[in-house]
Amino acid sequence: MSIVKIDSNDNTEFKSATEELGVYFSSLAAKKGRKITYNVLTYGCQLNESDSEKLEGMLMSFGLTHTEEEGELAKADVILMNTCSVRENADKHLFGNLGVFKSSVKQDKDTIVIICGCMMKVEENVERIRRSYPYVDLVFDPQQIHRFPVLLRDSLRKSKQLVNIGAIDYIAEDDYFPIARQRKFRALVPIMYGCNNFCTYCIVPYARGRERSRNFDNIVIELKDLYSRGYKEVMLLGQNVNSYGLNNEDGKTFKDVLEAASDIGFNRVRFMSSHPKDLSDEVIDLMATRPNIEKHLHLAMQSGSNKVLKRMNRPYSIEQFLDIASKFRSKVEGGSLTTDIIVGFPGETEEDFCETLKAVEKAAFDAAFTFQYSIRPGTKAAAYEDQIPKDVVTERFDRLLKIQNDLAFKSNEDKVGKTFEVLIEGMSKAGKGTYTGRTLSNHLVNFTIPEDIMPQDEDLEGRLGIVRIDHARPYSIDGVLERFSDV
């Protein structure tokens, strides 16, 4: 399939649709005598978050205002749900919310409901919306985001439900979109789109199309601009960042992007996600030697059984995976290694599962996202006949969780008595007067700030400080800020 490159200088239709929507919403505001509001609900991964930042940017460019009513999605005039089909219960969230929106639409016929994201690449979800939720105005998939203003304009012109599910592997540079960045210190920067790997449990290659990488020079321009605007942390995103550039002609690889981001001078450069088959020694060396590249590697293992890995279409052996893990540990001082694991994949025997437990202990992951396998419609594994009974999956999952929680707690306990630089993210949910942030190794830290060093009336989000750790918990560490390190 060919890749369509969209030039940000040639977006006439995008611009004219944006203008038309601006006129539409300003006359709606005049009719109602108030601002017209929007709200966006995002599920799933950081790529979905990044898509939502673009969608929000576009909604704002139509003249809409984010609703003040935090968490009250249904009270906005324009309600947008960016769905995910990877996370469990996504369908329950979507259809549960759609039921709630019905009364909003009944109360105000001008309410606009929009659904997008990976779930819209599953035909049965789209059919259900067509059949049972006629008040949804617009449905589109992740490959159509660059056409959002055009699609919304067309659905309003027709005043009937518009469903636009396509299969164009487009690549639009980020300057094509207005972007409403959600964090003032961290910028999400997708460097590539789509995936070619077709893991048998995953819908992403169908939902987001084939792998394609952004232009290297454009990424560097965007990174320099973000740095000049004061962003301290950049997160380079892709389903498989380590295969960045494979189809580009300039020969640039992920190592070049990582090095360029580090050279620009951000306090922190992070990246997500890495596939074990593509992670190069050069990238690990760069992580080891550059002080501003995170000392954290998220590497999805998925299973410790070579038989299961093969059926998952994960082209590495557990021995190769563990080699990479020990290489990372030996080279990157103080590094943390995290992973994803699926329990109860079709055909997984007790013996296979024990291989996973053994691998988990050998790799000594600092943290793991553990999932109970459940069927994802539209994937190859959904048709496998040897699905594992739910009670067996749950029992195995609990055993894995126990081992992994002990490992995570041990990793956190090792930090007690030491100091770490923390990038402050804001107030912690842990309690009044407590702040939260992350170390360069991505450990979550909750900490207090002594009164004598607490700045007056200052928003601390994005500040850097040295925290002494005095307590470990299973999923976080606690401490006290000793001093700010960015002054």
Closest contact distance (angstroms) between CB of 240 and ligand SF4 is 5
Q: Per-residue x/- mask for ligand SF4, residues 155 to 184, rule CB under 6 A?
A: ------------------------------
Q: How, if at all, do strands 419-427 and 464-472 pair? A: antiparallel
List all residues 6 or more positions away from 201 whose beta carbon is below 8 Å from its beta carbon.
Answer: 312, 342, 345, 373, 376, 379, 380, 381
Among 178, 205, 315, 377, binds ligand SF4 (CB under 6 A): 205
Residues 214 to 253: which contact ligand SF4 by CB under 6 A? 239-240
Closest distance to ligand SF4 from the beta carbon of 449 (Å): 39
**Part in contact with ligand SF4 (CB under 6 A); list of ranges 202-210, 386-394, 457-465, 477-485:** 202-210
- Between strands 477-484 and 464-472, the pairing is antiparallel
The verdict on 204 binding ligand SF4 (CB under 6 A) reads: yes
Task: Single out the residue of 145, 152, 162, 202 in contact with ligand SF4 (rule: CB under 6 A).
Answer: 202
According to the binding rule CB under 6 A, does residue 195 interact with ligand SF4? Answer: yes
Q: Which of 104, 182, 197, 248 binds ligand SF4 (CB under 6 A)?
A: 197
Give yes or no for a contact between 477 and 415, defined as CB atoms under 8 angstroms apart.
yes
User: Considering beta carbons, is residue 3 or 180 the nearer one to ligand SF4?
Assistant: 3
Spatial CB neighbours of 65, under 8 Å, sequence gap ≥ 6: 35, 36, 37, 38
CB of residue 297 to ligand SF4, shortest distance in Å: 15
For CA atoms 194, 190, 55, 212, the dihedral sign is negative
Examine residue 315 and tell whether it contacts ligand SF4 (CB under 6 A).
no
- Site track 247-276 with ligand SF4 (rule: CB under 6 A), x = hit: ----------------------------x-
Angle at 382 between CA 380 and CA 383, to 5 degrees: 75
For tokens 């109970």, name the residue.
Answer: 372
In the complex, minimum distance from the CB of residue 97 to ligand SF4, in angstroms, rounded to a whole number: 25
Among 27, 124, 198, 450, binds ligand SF4 (CB under 6 A): 198
Task: For residue 50, state whether it binds ligand SF4 (rule: CB under 6 A).
Answer: no
CA distance 298 to 305: 19
Residues counted in the chain: 487
Q: Which stretch binds ligand SF4 (CB under 6 A): 90-98, 193-201, 284-292, 399-407?
A: 193-201
Please check whether residue 206 is in contact with residue 194, taking contact to mean a CB–CB distance below 8 angstroms: no
192 binds ligand SF4 (CB under 6 A): no
Other beta carbons less than 10 A from residue 99's beta carbon = 10
Nearer to ligand SF4, 240 or 370 (CB): 240
Other Cβ atoms less than 10 A from the Cβ of 8: the count is 13
Looking at beta carbons only, is 198 or 475 nearer to ligand SF4?
198
Q: Cα separation of 49 and 56, whole Å? A: 10
Listed ranges 35-43, 194-202, 366-374, 429-437: which one lies at the site for ligand SF4 (CB under 6 A): 194-202
- 221 C-beta neighbours (distance < 10 Å), count: 14
Q: Could you tell me if 268 and 258 are in contact, meaning their C-beta atoms sit under 8 angstroms apart?
A: no
Please report whether residue 199 would count as binding ligand SF4 according to CB under 6 A: yes
Residues that bind ligand SF4 (CB under 6 A): 195, 197-199, 202, 204-205, 239-240, 275
